[in-house]
Amino acid sequence: MSKAAVEHPAAPAQVQRLKPQEFEAIRRLAYDKFGLDLRQGKEELVAARLGKRMREGAFGSFDEYYQHVVGDHSGEALIGMIDALATNHTSFLREVAHFEFLKQTVLPGLRDRPRIEFWSAACSTGEEPYTLAFTLCDQWGADAFRRVRILATDISTKALAAAKSGVYPAERFSAVPPAWLRQFLLRGEGRWKGSYRIKPEVRSQVEFARLNLVEPFSQHSLFPVIFCRNVMIYFDKRTQEGVVNRLAACLEPGGYLFIGHAESLTGVRHDLTYVRPAIYRKPGHGTGGGVRWPT
């Protein structure tokens, strides 16, 4: 380390220790604003993930950073905190059994619809909605580009920006059939070597938007299929119940809700019918007609 680095460290050079009362304030804010259940034992995780924000803003303590977040009426500081704390790890064809069920059980009943719309409610960096698009195009061919649209929402603006770009390292596609690589992806060259980009016609099927599932949201459409996977695992039962019932209200009768295989609705009050692990269905029968896309 140079003498200059010793005499003039970055401000702050080291993140201050996260005090119990600071952790509690951040924990409560994260829970109240976006349902994240940061339990005791997560102090080091919180300190590490907020460390970059602390350094960027030259905050001398976590309390100072917290006061900045709650005092920022634009909401940008809160979004930045959410982006830092949210986990966005995913991959293409994650939990492949869901897509097999979709192909074998759900899609045959939707084939005659002139317009089919799906919702990826916690889309993270986009792997899930693009996998949906791949699956639909693989089943229905070029006709899917005309008939299918996918709403993809997430609370993280950072994740949504990555999703919209549609560029991913090659290792994210390890589970994807080779035919899909040729059909739906563009191989990167030069500085993009080792990456793929989703083809424009596939990207055009997906509409990305920011949405906080913990807050009330407008029911613009009724969907035959909603994916909301691997996000409720971070919520407590009370928050899960609110999210599940809001999602159920956006399902058409007979529609399906897919959750993560690591998640369970045991102890959560809802009116959905259990189909198989991580798949639930809304009672009733679908109309078979189109639905209105949000404007």
**Higher pLDDT, residue 86 or 272:** 272
User: Rounded distance, CA 283 to CA 271, Å?
Assistant: 8
Q: Which of 1-10, 199-208, 280-289 has the lowest mean pLDDT?
A: 1-10
Provide the pLDDT for residue 3. Answer: 35
Q: Which residues of 202-216 are buried (b: 16+ CB within 10 A; e: fewer)?
A: bbebbebeebebbee
Find where tokens 């404007």 sit.
295
289 pLDDT above the threshold of 80: no
pLDDT for the residue 285: 77
- Class of the CATH domain delimited by 96-281: alpha beta
The predicted model scores a pTM of 0.81
pLDDT at 23: 94
What pLDDT is recorded for position 13?
43
Whole-number average pLDDT of the chain: 87
* pLDDT at residue number 52: 85
pLDDT value of position 219:
63
Can you say whether the dihedral through the CA atoms of 187, 193, 194, 198 is positive or negative?
A: negative
Q: How confident is the model at residue 12 (pLDDT cuts 50, 70, 90)?
A: very low
Residue 116 parent element (H or E): strand 116-120
Backbone angles phi, psi at 237, to 5 degrees: -60, -40
Q: Rounded to whole angstroms, how far apart are CA atoms 242 and 17?
A: 34
Q: What percent of the chain has pLDDT over 70?
A: 89
pLDDT band at 9 (very low <50, low <70, confident <90, very high): very low
* Amino acid identity, position 227: F
Tell me the per-residue pLDDT of 242-281, one tens digit each, with 9 for 90 and over: 999 999 999 999 999 999 998 989 899 999 999 999 999 9
Give the pairing of strands 195-198 and 167-169: antiparallel
State the catalytic residues.
Answer: 49, 154
The reported pLDDT for the residue numbered 1 is 37
**Mean pLDDT score, 78-84:** 85
pLDDT number for residue 286:
61
Tens digit of pLDDT for each residue in 188-229? 999 899 999 999 999 999 999 999 999 888 766 899 999 999
Over residues 89-106, the mean pLDDT reads 92
Domain regions of the chain by residue span: 3-85, 96-281
How far is Cα of residue 291 from the mean position of the Cα atoms in its chain?
A: 23
Residue-wise pLDDT for 149-169, tens only, equals 999 999 888 899 999 999 999
Contacts of residue 243, defined as CB under 8 A and 6 or more positions apart, other chains included, come to 35, 213, 214, 228, 232, 235
Query: What does the pLDDT read at residue 89?
Result: 64
Provide the residue type at 274 as one letter: Y
Domain 3-85, classified CATH 1.10.10.10, yes or no: no
Residue 33 pLDDT:
85
